Structure formats: structure tokens, C-alpha cells
Structure 1
Amino acid sequence: MTIYDDENLVPPGFEKLQRGGPYVAAMGPLYFRRADAVVVIAMRVAQRHTNMRGIAHGGMLASLADSALGIGMTIACEGRHSFVTVNLSTDFVEAARPGDWIEAHIDVQRIGSRMAFANCYLQVEDRRILRASGVFAVMAPLSPEQLAAGY
């Protein structure tokens, strides 16, 4: 039996991400890569992520985009803030299937004192499968206890 979440199937340069709380932990595991200002959050699609058609469930993809945007902004600002989603817009472009490695390429537009704005594309190799745009409330940074618990 193939296990798609096996760390041996994680591309080079990605590290396991210990953030996102219980919901993201149940969806993941998630991985990240940071090169200069570019943050990429990624995961391997498993059978448990699929709908009745055998493709990645749209709700799971929207959850990945939402989580990746918030986590990506937190990484980009080096943890000085945390973020709560105010609005998320998604456009589904193509399907993802079990075994696909999905990368969320995050583009932080602006982090202000009260609101933050970011976009991302979910990609499987060179194929864009989802476009997302989010507006977030800027919150106080997470406490050391929250960070230790994986939030």
C-alpha cells in the first residue's frame, strides 16, 4: 500500500511545518520552503482528501489555500503577527488527484496595522489548480505556549 504522506515523497528543500492547529494537523502534514521573500506551503494529496469523483475535494483545497495564506504571512512577518481570515475568494481551475504534490505559492500584498492582504496559487507541478485571494485581520502574535502546541 502506498502512503502518499510519507516523508520520503517530499521534494528536496521542504521542511515539515508544525503550525496551524488541530484542523490543519488533521488535513496535513504540511511542509514549507522559504527562499528570500517567497514562502511556499505544500502537501501531498491522499485518498482521504478526495470527493466522490476521486479528485481532491474543493473544500480541502480552499482550506489549504486559507491556511497557507495565514501561515505564509506569519512566516513572512517572522511571527510578529498572527492572522484571522476576514474574506477568502477562490477560483478552481483544475483538479488534483491522490499522489499529487500541491504547492501554495504565496504573494503577500500588504500587512498593515489592522488588515493584511495576500494572494496564492495552488499548483501541481506547473499546473495552476486554484487561485485564492484573502483579506485578514491582523492579530497579536501567538504565545510561546500556542506555538509549542502547533498553532
Structure 2
Amino acid sequence: MTDIPEGFRPARIPAPFVEANGPLYWRDLDGGLSLGFRVERRHTNAAGNLHGGMLMTMVDMQLNCALNYQLDTAQFIPTVAANIDFLAPANIGDWVEGRTEILRRGGRTVFADCRIRRGDGELLARANGIFKLGGSEYGTFDPRAAFS
């Protein structure tokens, strides 16, 4: 299966890590960003399921990209802490997508939740993270270039 759900478009995230683990796709959900990908063999563990490391990668990308998109900032937003609960498996060919909710924004800190689901709606993982809003010392990432 290589079909991509309606509304998703290729994400143009200029990062070698994403290039090696993608492709990722995106869509706007009422001003929020949802990332998704189709599970390929290279994303799996020895049991043939989606590898937990790839799922954690998806969580981190979903959280960070959604923050850039929703806060409309071109500053890179590093992850300070992240927690994940793995709830169900995904298999080769499954569509996987995420959603993010910003819980609180303080001076230089953002708290956010993330849910990752299979295309059939099954919850694969729930996660949360703490992120640091900084200046140019962390670099830049322009969501308008990646998600347009």
C-alpha cells in the first residue's frame, strides 16, 4: 500500500534524519498540524511491527513540527523532555498519523501532548513533552517552507 490519505501533502523538512526515515506527509487540522507516514519494512523491529524507535521519532517530529506550525515561529524548538506510552502495534502498510495539543506556554517553555493513531483510529501511543523556546542559538526551522 502506498496510497496517502486525502488532504495529506509531502512535508519538506530539511533534515537528513527525516530524509533517512521518511517520507513524512502533513495536513492542516483546524490550524493544527498533523504528520503522517506509511509504515515500510525499514521501519520495523525483529517481530515485523513498527519499531518503538520509529514511533518515538514520529512523536518528536509531530510535537516539534506542530509547535512551529501552531506558534508560527521559525526558531528551532528543542525538546527538553519527552515521555511516551506505547499502546498498540502497527504493521507494514499501516498509515500512522499524529496530533498535538499545546497545553501551556510560559516565557521560554511549552508543554504539549501528542496522540499517534493508525489509519483505522487505533491509538498507538500517547506522549507529552516539554520544549524550550529560544533564540537563534538553536538554529531556525521555517514551518512555512516545510508545510506549504
Q: TM-score, normalised by structure 2?
A: 0.86
- Change in 2 beyond 3 A, CA 1:110/1:80: farther
For residues 31 and 121 of structure 2, the distance between their equivalents in structure 1, rounded to whole angstroms, comes to 20
Corresponding residue to 1:56 among 50, 60, 66: 50
Pair 1:126 & 2:127 matched: no
Paired residue for 2:130? Answer: 135
Task: List gaps (5 residues or longer) in structure 2.
Answer: none
2:8/2:25 contact within 8 Å kept: yes
1:19/1:71 contact within 8 Å kept: no
What displacement does 1:80 show?
Answer: 4.5
Q: TM-score, normalised by structure 1?
A: 0.85
Pair 1:67 & 2:61 matched: yes
Paired residue for 2:93? Answer: 99
Corresponding residue to 1:117 among 108, 111, 115: 111
For residues 75 and 131 of structure 1, the distance between their equivalents in structure 2, rounded to whole angstroms, comes to 20
What displacement does 1:77 show?
Answer: 1.1
Q: Where do 1:17-32 residues align within 5 Å? A: 17-19=11-13, 21-32=15-26
1:14/1:31 contact within 8 Å kept: yes
What displacement does 1:65 show?
Answer: 0.3
1:135 partner letter = I
What displacement does 1:21 show?
Answer: 1.2
What displacement does 1:105 show?
Answer: 1.1
Counting matched residue pairs gives: 142
Which structure 1 residue ranges, 4+ long, deviate > 4 Å from structure 2? none
1:46/1:99 contact within 8 Å kept: yes
What displacement does 1:106 show?
Answer: 1.0
Task: List gaps (5 residues or longer) in structure 1.
Answer: none
Q: The residue matched to 1:83 in structure 2 has which SS?
A: coil
For residues 80 and 51 of structure 1, the distance between their equivalents in structure 2, rounded to whole angstroms, comes to 34
